Structure 1
């Protein structure tokens, strides 16, 4: 079963709702979140100050999922966060585990 790292960039005002959703979903077993400055985001989701500065505050969430789970998780995110402007991408995970 191949693992993927799903990266999501979301506006800070929906961070809590996104994290709550991921906590309830069995397909996002391990994830992290952190505040970021994002560049190159669509200007329609930026306020005037952010447009001048060229960056926007965002929350980055990274979740380990399987390739089989990706479609269902993205569909749920599309339903729950339509119109919010969440950016995402996936990358293959070469190795992962727990060091005890």
Structure 2
């Protein structure tokens, strides 16, 4: 079974809501969240100080899930976060495991 990594850039004001949604979404095996700076975001969604600095302060969330779960996850996110400025991209996971 192939896995994917769904990468999400989440505005800080939505972080807790997004993480709560992912915690209850079926089929997600693991996800991480990290504060980060995003470059190239829409200026309309940036604060004045972010526009001056040229970067937005967001949370990067990386979700591992089976490939067949991608459409359902993106559909759920679209319903819950329509118009919120959530950005995403999907990457294949070549290998994953646990070092024991």
**Bin for the TM-score computed over the shorter chain:** over 0.9
Structure 2 stretches of 5 or more lacking a match? Answer: none
* Structure 1 residues 1-100: aligned runs within 5 Å: 1-100=1-100
- 1:37-79 Cα shifts (integer Å, max 9, x gaps): 1101111211111112110100000010111100000000000
Q: Distance in 1 between matches of 2:74 and 2:97?
A: 24
Q: What number of residue pairs does the alignment pair up? A: 100
8 A contact 1:27–1:73 mirrored in 2:
no
TM-score (ref. length: structure 1) = 0.96
Query: In the TM superposition, what is the alpha-carbon distance from 1:26 to its structure 2 partner?
Result: 1.4
